[in-house]
Amino acid sequence: MVKRPDMSEITKKLNLPGLMKSVRSMINPEGRTPKPEAGDAWGEKFERLSIILQQMMHVHEEQAKELEEANQLLNEIFVSVNAAKKEISPDTKG
């Protein structure tokens, strides 16, 4: 039988409960940015990633609004072009 290493030392060094708390708070539905403890390098990285993702989500929302507006304008132009074509040549279809 293979002897397994003692994982308790590694667990203490990684601060898994704190890490899991940070991850849980990051994926909460409220979208709050977690505040890491001072000197928590991983927590600071999680915080920075959370901020970057929130900024990207905001940009995506704005782009979606602009794409919707552009699509609406394109549809209006299409209707206008078809109406103009019918006025010029009533026999033209579509």
- Is residue 29, in this structure, part of any structural domain at all? no
Tokens representing 46?
């999680």
- Is residue 74, in this structure, part of any structural domain at all? yes
User: What is the Cβ-side half-sphere exposure of residue 58, based on CA atoms within 13 angstroms?
Assistant: 7
The pTM score is: 0.48
Domains contained in the chain, number: 1
- Is residue 13, in this structure, part of any structural domain at all? no
- Is residue 85, in this structure, part of any structural domain at all? yes
Distance CA 15, CA 40 (A): 10
- Is residue 78, in this structure, part of any structural domain at all? yes
**What is the extent of the structural domain holding 84?**
50-89
- Tens-binned pLDDT, residue by residue, of the chain (94 aa): 566 666 666 666 666 666 666 666 556 545 567 788 889 999 999 889 988 998 999 999 999 999 999 999 999 999 999 999 999 987 756 5
**Torsion-angle region of 31 (φ positive above 0: left; ψ -120 to 50: alpha; else: beta):** left
